[in-house]
């Protein structure tokens, strides 16, 4: 196969299903709900869909699998990624994991509606596991149906790809298929069940291993299998670390701490709120995984969470994500402790999380403001004052940074009223409630802009250069909750054009796309309280 060859036929895909080859299988093969002991996975077949219809596919993910887009146009593609047919080499299975949900140990969870199809090694030698979400019940489905609705599947499909193009580590999405069946969901768990169209997303990642995969084995005192899974993970997902040994276990955990910190810095940079950071939703590779009731900050509010299921405690609010990731890593440390038995060394590894996060956050904030490098003497204060300012009045985070990049920071200081007015004209696009822009606010903004211009002048950065740098780190377009909802509303009526439009938009989220300016607009008033835009639940 030459480096240019692309497969037009799914039957030509080459699978290397290492997870199921090297790890122990559940002996039971009948698909009924149960506790699965002494095994990492159960073989299970997807439930066929009556009338599958392709909604969308991601051409970038198609390319990762060495496929030609011709392969996606064929009916076979729709059948396979709805779960109706396995091509040669595919072997379907669901995996066993546990987790802490909202801080409490929940025991066995597992792939309750995820069915893996196998792993592809592409021409670059990259390993890509394929996983259907919503293709029917598995031994891990507990009391639920194993299905997914179009609404949540559109959200997962679009957000995975948007996050990738935004530069945020994430699982990917190959395809989105309607099953032709309806699924009953009580969207807000308030006694209003409704039939919704069912759908299946095919997710793609180097692996789907979660913190909870290790936790369940330790909880069951199955230390030999824990060691087997850790060794397997190091050999496949972290091969660069070397052959597994107690020293390598620590190096591996340190690496997981580092990768997790980097992912969280990205979330804070783009204003992403995951919504359900349970330990079963934490990828061992530091990938954003399990797009459920996630949301994007519109007005900057660190206390915001889109997840109504978490409305009381707000455990997973935007500003708490860094602390929660640390807590989750602590649970992973507990899980692998039996292999290491050195508390201090594990704690030391966790400081790598804190250090990576702090350094990453400072660099990220410096980048967002267009500074050449973080200067501890001045910049801590500059950031703190800005963060306070962003919360004083309802300010759209994404628009604010893009507009900030446009202001002239090279005028002679102190800032004159005319300079301030010119800057304010740009920034005024970011505000939601004009009545909030009182003199007290303007004075604080004036002071901050003066300090900011002073800082930029110290760097001797030109306006053009600063804008260029800032626009590479501050996206113009994010998947605002109302945009996803518009795509869902139309898709439920059989019109998939908005999904395509957003997919195309998010290929260049940092570029100005003048014909798509409307998609950068701040949240319209109708979306403020509408279900799906400001409020979401785990019902999906």
Sequence-separated (6 or more) residues with CB below 8 Å from residue 32: 139
Q: Which of 114/352 has CB closer to ligand AMP?
A: 114
CA distances from 539 to 151, 477, 488 (A): 10, 27, 15
Residue 538 interacts with which of Mg ion, ligand AMP, none, CB < 5 to 8 Å by class: ligand AMP
Q: Does 290 bind Mg ion (CB under 5 A)?
A: yes
In this structure, what are the phi and psi dihedrals at residue 21, rounded to the nearest 5 degrees?
Answer: -75, -40
d(CA 74, CA 89): 19
Q: Which of 65/287 has CB closer to ligand AMP?
A: 287
Mark whether 280 is an active-site residue.
yes
Q: Does 292 bind ligand AMP (CB under 6 A)?
A: yes
For ligand AMP, the binding residues in 90-119 under the rule CB under 6 A are: 109-113
d(CA 390, CA 385): 9
Q: Does 145 bind ligand AMP (CB under 6 A)?
A: yes
CA distances from 347 to 61, 166, 245, 354 (A): 38, 32, 19, 11
Residue 111 interacts with which of ligand AMP, Mg ion, none, CB < 5 to 8 Å by class: ligand AMP
d(CA 415, CA 401): 20
Give the nearest residue (CB) to Mg ion: 290
DSSP state of 175: E
Q: Does 275 bind ligand AMP (CB under 6 A)?
A: no
Out of 26, 66, 237, 280, the active site residue is: 280
Q: CB count, 10 Å around CB of 506? A: 22
Q: Does 136 bind ligand AMP (CB under 6 A)?
A: no
What track of x and - describes contact with ligand AMP for positions 1 through 20 (by CB under 6 A)? --------------------
Q: CB count, 10 Å around CB of 139? A: 26
| Stretch in the footprint of ligand AMP (CB under 6 A) among 173-181, 229-237, 251-259, 274-282 | 274-282
CB of 207 to ligand AMP, least distance (A): 16
Of 362, 364, 470, nearest to 407 by C-alpha is 470
Q: Does 144 bind ligand AMP (CB under 6 A)?
A: yes
The 3 state secondary structure assigned to 399-416 is HHHHHHCCCCCCCCCCCC
Residue 112 interacts with which of ligand AMP, Mg ion, none, CB < 5 to 8 Å by class: ligand AMP
Q: Does 281 bind ligand AMP (CB under 6 A)?
A: yes
DSSP element (H, E) containing 117:
strand 114-121
Q: Which of 152/268 has CB closer to Mg ion?
A: 152
Ramachandran assignment for 151, one of left (phi > 0), alpha (psi -120 to 50 degrees), beta (any other): alpha
Residues 229 and 244 sit within 8 Å (Cβ to Cβ): no
Please pick, from the candidates 209, 233, 254, 281, the single residue that binds Mg ion as defined by CB under 5 A.
Answer: 281
Give the nearest residue (CB) to ligand AMP: 112
Q: Does 47 bind ligand AMP (CB under 6 A)?
A: no
Q: Does 147 bind ligand AMP (CB under 6 A)?
A: yes
Please pick, from the candidates 46, 52, 146, 367, the single residue that binds ligand AMP as defined by CB under 6 A.
Answer: 146
Tokens representing residue 270 in the block: 């783009």
CA distances from 406 to 55, 308, 313, 403, 470 (A): 39, 36, 39, 5, 10
d(CA 35, CA 146): 16
DSSP state of 496: -
What track of x and - describes contact with ligand AMP for positions 54 through 93 (by CB under 6 A)? ----------------------------------------
| Stretch in the footprint of Mg ion (CB under 5 A) among 27-35, 89-97, 282-290, 446-454 | 282-290
Q: Which of 156/231 has CB closer to ligand AMP?
A: 156
Residues 150 and 496 sit within 8 Å (Cβ to Cβ): no
Q: CB count, 10 Å around CB of 443? A: 11
Q: Which of 255/290 has CB closer to Mg ion?
A: 290
Q: Does 141 bind ligand AMP (CB under 6 A)?
A: yes
Binding site for Mg ion (CB under 5 A): 281, 290
Catalytic residues: 280
Using CB under 6 A, list all residues that contact ligand AMP.
109-113, 140-141, 144-147, 276, 278, 280-281, 290, 292, 538
């Amino acid at each position: 196969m030459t480096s240019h060859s692309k497969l037009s036929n799914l039957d030509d895909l080459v699978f290397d299903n290492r997870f199921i080859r090297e790890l122990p299988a559940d002996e039971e093969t009948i698909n009924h709900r149960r506790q699965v002991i002494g095994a990492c996975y159960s073989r299970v077949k997807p439930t066929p869909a009556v009338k599958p219809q392709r909604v969308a596919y991601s051409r970038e993910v198609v390319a990762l699998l060495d496929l030609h887009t011709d392969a996606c146009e064929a009916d076979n593609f729709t059948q396979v990624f709805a779960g109706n047919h396995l091509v040669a080499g595919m072997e379907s299975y669901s995996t066993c994991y546990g987790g802490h949900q909202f801080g409490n140990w929940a025991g066995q969870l597992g792939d309750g509606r995820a069915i893996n199809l196998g792993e592809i090694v592409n021409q670059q030698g990259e390993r890509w596991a394929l996983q259907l979400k919503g293709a029917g019940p598995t031994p891990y489905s507990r009391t639920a149906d194993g299905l997914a609705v179009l609404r949540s599947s559109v959200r997962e499909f679009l957000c995975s790809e948007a996050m990738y193009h935004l530069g945020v580590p994430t699982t990917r999405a190959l395809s989105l298929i309607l099953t032709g069946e309806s699924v009953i969901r009580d969207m807000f768990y308030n006694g209003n069940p409704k039939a919704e169209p069912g759908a299946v997303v095919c997710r793609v990642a180097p692996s789907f291993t979660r913190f909870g995969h290790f936790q369940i084995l330790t909880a069951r005192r199955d230390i030999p299998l824990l060691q087997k899974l850790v060794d397997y993970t190091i050999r496949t997902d972290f091969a660069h670390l070397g052959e597994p040994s107690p020293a390598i276990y620590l190096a591996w955990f340190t690496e997981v701490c580092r990768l997790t910190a980097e992912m969280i810095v990205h979330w804070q940079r783009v204003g992403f709120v995951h919504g359900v950071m349970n330990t079963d939703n934490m990828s061992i590779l530091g990938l954003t995984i399990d797009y459920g009731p996630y949301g994007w900050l519109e007005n900057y509010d660190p206390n915001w969470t889109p997840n109504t299921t978490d409305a009381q405690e707000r455990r997973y609010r935007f500003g708490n994500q860094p602390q929660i990731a640390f807590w989750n890593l602590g649970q992973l440390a507990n899980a692998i402790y039996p292999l290491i038995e050195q508390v201090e060394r594990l704690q030391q590894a966790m400081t790598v999380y804190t250090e990576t996060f702090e350094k990453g956050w400072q660099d990220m904030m410096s980048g967002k403001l267009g500074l050449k490098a973080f200067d501890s003497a001045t910049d801590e204060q500059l950031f703190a004052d800005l963060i306070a300012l962003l919360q004083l009045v309802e300010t759209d985070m994404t628009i604010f940074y893009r507009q900030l990049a446009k202001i002239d920071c090279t005028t002679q200081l102190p800032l004159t009223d005319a300079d301030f007015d010119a800057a304010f004209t740009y920034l005024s696009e970011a505000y939601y409630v004009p009545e909030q822009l009182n003199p007290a606010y303007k004075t604080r903004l004036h002071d901050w802009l003066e300090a900011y211009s002073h800082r930029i002048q110290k760097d001797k950065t030109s306006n053009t250069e600063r804008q260029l740098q800032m626009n590479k780190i501050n996206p113009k377009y994010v998947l605002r909750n109302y945009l996803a909802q518009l795509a869902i509303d139309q898709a439920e009526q059989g019109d998939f054009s908005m999904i395509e439009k957003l997919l195309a938009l998010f290929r260049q989220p940092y570029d100005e796309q003048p014909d798509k300016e409307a998609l950068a607009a701040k949240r319209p008033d109708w979306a403020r309280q509408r279900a799906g835009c400001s409020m979401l639940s785990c019902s999906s």
